[in-house]
């Protein structure tokens, strides 16, 4: 199918010009013959949305068709993937980001999807930098002071997360379990809500990925701790959970999948285009700005990794007493 310049501009894909999209040779494959929809299961403006839009732009010119981001937030990042699994054709034209909650929530609630049966895993791409932020004028100057206050004042600290069952929620409860703390999660839909919540004083803290970064740099929020294996390049003076005594490393890696039953040839076309996309400067620069690290796995390795993630998720929710009642 030929796409005119006007048609491409109507699609409004991240500023892509028609000339930036190189059609695949007709002999290569019939797929793709139209734009590919990539579901972002989080609101616009957060770190996932921003990084996915950069990747969509970078991948489109290698795929030969636009990759169009569709935001479908809700359910701690599971509404988008679950909707795709239930309703989308396995033709390669509808894909979704697969957050960790896809593997975790079926052990916590009655879910409509099975992560081992309802998805075709295509490519694993990256993970987040997580951290806990408070208002700049909050009384806690350090993570240690914040923990001490929370322990001395059970139930008084409210923290925002992108949703129940997310890695942010689970890790904060792991910390509470270790430190003997009782605090209250306030689940939201993503960074577009969690950052304003702490800025507005609706919660004492926010645990989320780096959508809060500009507010930290502007001096409006204070970053108390990050959750990676090492300190970040952007905020090198901020300690990690690992060095603060909690011994936790948490980055919630993710990739992309389609519905079950996809043609392996279509999967390969998509994998190869995304593989080239994650090497494009526009995408790598966006990851650097968001303090996200590349974490590539091919189709076979990602499929195997999905089984590991499900097993880890089950163990976590059982340890914290969050498993659904049988």
Two structure tokens written together for 20: 């930036």
Query: Is 80 exceeded by the pLDDT of residue 264?
Result: yes
CB-neighbour burial class of residue 4 (10 A; exposed 0-12, middle 13-18, buried 19+) = exposed
Query: Is 80 exceeded by the pLDDT of residue 94?
Result: yes
φ, ψ of residue 282 in degrees (nearest 5): -60, -35
Among residues 158, 161, 105, which one has the least CA distance to residue 128?
Answer: 161
- Whether 73 contacts 42, CB under 8 Å: yes
Among residues 37, 45, 44, which one has the least CA distance to residue 11?
Answer: 37
pLDDT, tens only, 146-192: 999 999 999 999 999 999 999 999 999 999 999 999 999 999 988 88
Model pLDDT, residue 14? 40
Query: Is 70 exceeded by the pLDDT of residue 10?
Result: no
In whole angstroms, give the CA distance from residue 202 to residue 200. Answer: 6
pLDDT, tens only, 283-322: 999 999 888 989 999 999 999 999 999 999 999 899 888 8
In whole angstroms, give the CA distance from residue 154 to residue 191. Answer: 26
62 CB-near residues (< 8 Å, 6+ apart): 22, 272, 273, 276, 277
Spatial strand order of the sheet with 158-161 comes to 184-187, 158-161, 205-209, 130-135, 221-226
Partner residues linked to 124 by β-bridges: 255, 297
Model pLDDT, residue 28? 41
- Confidence band, pLDDT 50/70/90 cuts, at residue 11: very low
Look up the pTM and report it.
0.80
Model pLDDT, residue 190? 85
Question: What CATH number was assigned to the domain covering residues 5-128+252-319?
Answer: 3.40.190.150
Strand ranges (E), 55-93: 67-71
pLDDT, tens only, 183-222: 999 999 888 899 999 999 999 999 999 989 999 999 999 9
- Confidence band, pLDDT 50/70/90 cuts, at residue 7: very low
The b/e string for 286-311 (b: 16+ C-beta within 10 A; e otherwise) is bbebbbbeeeebebeebbebbeebbe
pLDDT, mean of residues 231-245: 95
32 cis-preceded (ω within 30 degrees of 0): yes
Does 153 or 8 have the greater pLDDT score? 153
Please report the DSSP string for 8-56 in residue order: HHHHT-TT--GGG--PPPTTT-S--SSPEEEEE-S-TTSHHHHHHHHHH
Question: What CATH number was assigned to the domain covering residues 130-226?
Answer: 3.40.190.10
Model pLDDT, residue 23? 45
Among residues 91, 93, 40, 85, which one has the least CA distance to residue 66?
Answer: 93
Model pLDDT, residue 326? 66
Q: How many CB atoms lie within 10 A of CB 180?
A: 10
Query: Is 70 exceeded by the pLDDT of residue 1?
Result: no
- Whether 163 contacts 187, CB under 8 Å: yes
Model pLDDT, residue 134? 98
Q: How many CB atoms lie within 10 A of CB 31?
A: 21
> Would you kindly state where each structural domain of the chain is located, as residue ranges?
5-128+252-319, 130-226
pLDDT, tens only, 18-55: 334 444 433 345 899 999 999 999 999 888 999 999 99
Among residues 79, 85, 94, 77, which one has the least CA distance to residue 35?
Answer: 94
Model pLDDT, residue 195? 94
Give the CA count within 13 Å in the CB-facing half-sphere of 182: 5
135 CB-near residues (< 8 Å, 6+ apart): 198, 199, 201, 220, 221, 222
Among residues 62, 59, 94, which one has the least CA distance to residue 80?
Answer: 94
């Amino acid at each position: 199918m030929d796409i005119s310049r006007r048609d491409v501009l109507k699609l409004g894909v991240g500023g892509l010009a028609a000339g930036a999209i190189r059609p695949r040779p007709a002999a290569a494959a019939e797929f793709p013959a139209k734009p590919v929809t990539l579901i972002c299961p989080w609101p616009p403006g957060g770190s996932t949305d921003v990084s996915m839009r950069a990747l969509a732009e970078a991948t489109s010119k290698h795929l030969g068709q636009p990759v169009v981001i569709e935001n479908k937030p809700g359910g701690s990042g599971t509404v988008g993937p679950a909707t795709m699994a239930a309703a989308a054709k396995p033709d390669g034209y509808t894909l979704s980001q697969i957050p960790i909650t896809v593997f975790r929530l079926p052990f916590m609630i009655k879910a409509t999807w099975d992560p081992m049966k309802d998805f075709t895993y295509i490519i694993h791409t990256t993970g987040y930098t997580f951290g806990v932020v408070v208002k700049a004028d909050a009384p806690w100057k350090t993570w240690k002071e914040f923990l001490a206050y929370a322990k001395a004042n059970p139930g008084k600290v409210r923290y925002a997360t992108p949703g129940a069952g997310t890695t942010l929620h689970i890790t904060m409860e792991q910390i509470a379990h270790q430190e003997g703390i009782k605090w209250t999660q306030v689940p939201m839909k993503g960074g577009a809500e969690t950052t304003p919540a702490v800025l507005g004083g609706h919660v004492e803290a926010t645990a989320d990925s780096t959508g809060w970064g500009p507010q930290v740099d502007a001096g409006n929020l204070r970053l108390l701790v990050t959750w990676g294996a090492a300190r970040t390049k952007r905020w090198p003076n901020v300690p990690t959970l690992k060095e603060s005594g909690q011994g936790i490393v948490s980055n919630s890696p993710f990739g992309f999948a389609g519905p079950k039953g996809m043609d392996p040839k279509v999967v390969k076309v998509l994998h190869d285009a995304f593989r080239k996309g994650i090497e494009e400067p526009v995408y790598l620069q966006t990851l650097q700005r968001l303090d996200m690290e590349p974490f590539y796995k091919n189709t076979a390795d990602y499929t195997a990794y999905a089984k590991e993630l499900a097993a880890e998720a089950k163990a976590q929710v059982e340890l914290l007493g969050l498993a659904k009642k049988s």
